[in-house]
Structure 1
């Protein structure tokens, strides 16, 4: 069956196509009697307005691109849910994409967002794409950075940012291990090309210096994946000077750390203490584990990002005043 057209709706309701458009878009005054006739015709013919035609006419697609390193990570899912709960009320839909911590893929996805004419982009950058991010911002498309910053401050000068205080959060987490008497600490970190990788490692070093531990921590740099956590534990256990505690600076890697420690027959924390930047879903299954973790607020971050997005799309906030929302973090312990 051929799709009904606005002309057919107008003929059925015995009005002009312009009147049908005013009713559907709720613009200008139309009498209740005319509205009823138009909506009756719409329902009878099962008419559905063309989203493409509407976007061309309004210069808006009602689509927002969300590019994150891993859409399966509960942390980024929480951020996305918060964004969706805000912008969805205004008729916007989200297009989700994973960069897989791959700067080249991220660059292609940003280009795709431009080609799809999305109304705005939410980006948790994998790093290495400052020129592409700047080009997107220069095109006047609203772009909100979440969780991560660009490589250089200049690139992000005019961009909105919703993130955590990574340095302070990692410092607090490390201090808990130091307070418990641990001096040999293994650090599972992500790639330092990302701001989270750089800032969280700086936080670990900051805490160690506060405790007069000037030697470098034992660092395993992975790619924020569960497999990296597994490989890191194997690396630490094979080291000449095995650490007595592990701090994992990402919840995905923390899962791998816990899996491999249990698989190796070690007990937490008597054989190996563990601290995680972000709660691990499987953590509560380990009874009396004493795992330290940094409580994160991804949903709240998503809500804030969504509110900023709507202001930018509506041009309610001057571009010369980017919004910076930095969330503090609290260390907790599983008992």
Structure 2
């Protein structure tokens, strides 16, 4: 691999001149710049990002932590973030906590050691060590979906309470009165917000949820599958189910099919997120669409402002969800 010294010797200039050409840190004549640039291309010289960061105090990298990138919701959010970062010349280092707060804390130390310019964090539940790590951290940061106690940072999320409300109201307007809810983990604020929206819609319609109609699980297809099996054992089966995300809803569809139920004539199911897979399930899944790509763009915009030194007050952005009615919901028989 070529070195800066070799480039300088081939171009007939000093190593400092090569550095100035690469980093635009001093005026260099057009003739010298062209000669150095040509040699760099000829020798396929790749400047050291570490060395450049030491000179410029910038690494042009953003660290991002997600709970589990096997969830398509995060994959689609990441796409919006990476596209926005690429446009402004930044790379994204992605860390996956696999829903383990200890692994999350370890990865955050790694990101900080890498001298990232900014951080995007979707926290994996509550964790005291995480709060301690971030409480005195000076790296610009945006929190997504889940706030961290004691940590002051810009915050972006979708309006999950309204999303849960609209999903449940959709089922009520179709004529359902026995409506169950399969929720994500009870210790995650987005899960609780969606449940609160579910409860608000029922209360507004004068409906009660019988005991056992609210089941907490995890945000996976298996979680939704097991939860619906539990609901189907109740003496009074629900005629409709609001699942806290699309993966759980798809798992519920599988459990319903195995039980001999037809969707939506025997059971209506609505999810949350509108992942790409929701359009290709059988039947196609009704859901609440989160503005995932737009959210990613906004997150990067907010973070870049902080990286560039913005001193404006901390911001909270609440983005709206929208109902996407497909084939998995219909009026009860």
Match of 2:250 in 1: 255
Give the conservation status (yes or no) of the 8 Å contact 2:181–2:242.
Answer: yes
Quote the offset at 1:5 in angstroms. 2.1
Give the conservation status (yes or no) of the 8 Å contact 2:79–2:296.
Answer: yes
Change (3 A) 1:281 1:260: farther
Cα deviations across residues 268-312 of structure 1 (Å, max 9, x unaligned)? 11111111112254444467x585311221000000001111111
Which ranges of structure 1 fall in alignment gaps of 5 or more residues?
Answer: none
Q: Distance in 2 between matches of 1:149 and 1:71?
A: 19
Quote the offset at 1:170 in angstroms. 0.3
Q: Distance in 1 between matches of 2:163 and 2:271?
A: 11
Match of 2:86 in 1: 88
1:85-164 equivalent positions in 2, closer than 5 A: 85-129=83-127, 132-133=130-131, 135-136=133-134, 138-150=136-148, 152=149, 155-156=150-151, 158-164=152-158
Q: Distance in 2 between matches of 1:8 and 1:129?
A: 50
Counterpart pick for 2:173 among 151, 176, 179: 179
Cα deviations across residues 6-48 of structure 1 (Å, max 9, x unaligned)? 2222222121222111111123221111011112222333322
1:157-236 equivalent positions in 2, closer than 5 A: 158-215=152-209, 218-236=213-231
Change (3 A) 1:26 1:280: closer
Give the conservation status (yes or no) of the 8 Å contact 2:105–2:133.
Answer: no
Match of 1:274 in 2: 269
Give the conservation status (yes or no) of the 8 Å contact 2:154–2:315.
Answer: yes
Match of 2:70 in 1: 72
- The secondary structure found in structure 2 opposite 1:270 is coil
Q: Distance in 1 between matches of 2:277 and 2:55?
A: 49
Number of aligned residues: 326
Give the conservation status (yes or no) of the 8 Å contact 2:118–2:307.
Answer: yes
Match of 2:330 in 1: none
- With the length of structure 2 as denominator, give the TM-score of the two structures: 0.91
Give the conservation status (yes or no) of the 8 Å contact 1:167–1:203.
Answer: yes
Q: Distance in 2 between matches of 1:221 and 1:102?
A: 18
Q: Distance in 2 between matches of 1:163 and 1:130?
A: 22
- With the length of structure 1 as denominator, give the TM-score of the two structures: 0.90
- 1:334 pairs with 2:329: no
Give the conservation status (yes or no) of the 8 Å contact 1:269–1:290.
Answer: no
Which ranges of structure 2 fall in alignment gaps of 5 or more residues?
Answer: 328-333
Give the conservation status (yes or no) of the 8 Å contact 1:160–1:323.
Answer: yes
